[in-house]
Amino acid sequence: MKKRILMVAVVLFLSISVNVNAFEPINWPNEPVVAVLGASGSEAGTPVDSPFGGMAVAGGAYLALGHALIQENHRVQIAAQAGAYSYDVPGTGWLGYQSQYEKAVNQTMWIDGIDHLSAVFIDQMNDCMHSVPCSEEDMDIYIQRAVDVAVTARNAGKCVIVNALMPWESLDLPRGVAPYGISYTISESNYRLMADKHRTTFENLENIYYVEAYEGMTTFDGLHWDSASVKKGAHKISKVLKKECGF
């Protein structure tokens, strides 16, 4: 009888201990997180539903900017997608700036109610670069979509960094898009016009930091930069994150 009572007491003790431990406070990691929005400059992978079926640039051997920022010891949520445009493309999984931002916001809000998203990095999209001719109005619409997300993030208390467009001198667009069966690319004059519009717009916005992470880059295919270049670019962005965003 005593053994049975002792056995029951032990079982009750273990049960109470397990229940107490299950509700003990958890010290979740509380590092600030930077969201990365954009296209293949920042993420090698494509959506599974896209025509590329989830294939990554260079089979995953390509180092994109978002992953290089992780190597700079930042906590990063990459919402960027290779092949993306500034707008959602239905049926492909490609998300535009707004949807990428919303995805990042959802990813960085944890069950303890803490929002870990502290900074947003906005990289270049594929708009106007290739595939479809682009008017000056199209350029303005593209830039405005980036502005809308940048301002939304800034007003939500996030530190916002916007990357300048890739410098024309570093690009060889016909070579870069040929492997994907694309023949049309933007002209030099139109590209320079778009890059100037982009710069002028963002440099005139308060509390949004404009960087030239692609300056001096070297591409391996005319469109995507090599590992040495992307590491330098990530280091430039990291310095802004530390100086201006307090990372």
Cβ count within 10 A of residue 166 = 24
Domain formed by 31-244, architecture: 3-Layer(aba) Sandwich (3.40)
Return the H-helix or E-strand segment holding 10. helix 2-22
Nearest residue to 84 (alpha-carbon basis) of 40, 131, 53, 128: 40
* Res 5: pLDDT: 46
pTM for this predicted structure: 0.89
CA 199-160-128 angle, 5° bins = 40
Residue carrying structure tokens 């906590």:
75
Mind spelling out the 3-state secondary structure of 77-110? EECCCCCCCCCCECCCCECCHHHHHHHHHHHHEC
For the chain, give the percent of residues with pLDDT over 70.
91
Instruction: Write down the domain spans for the chain.
Output: 31-244
> pLDDT for 96-144, tens place per residue?
999 999 999 999 999 999 999 999 999 999 999 999 899 999 999 999 9
> pLDDT for 138-195, tens place per residue?
999 999 999 999 999 999 999 999 999 999 999 999 999 999 999 999 999 999 999 9
Lowest-confidence segment of 12-21, 114-123, 175-184, 214-223 by average pLDDT: 12-21
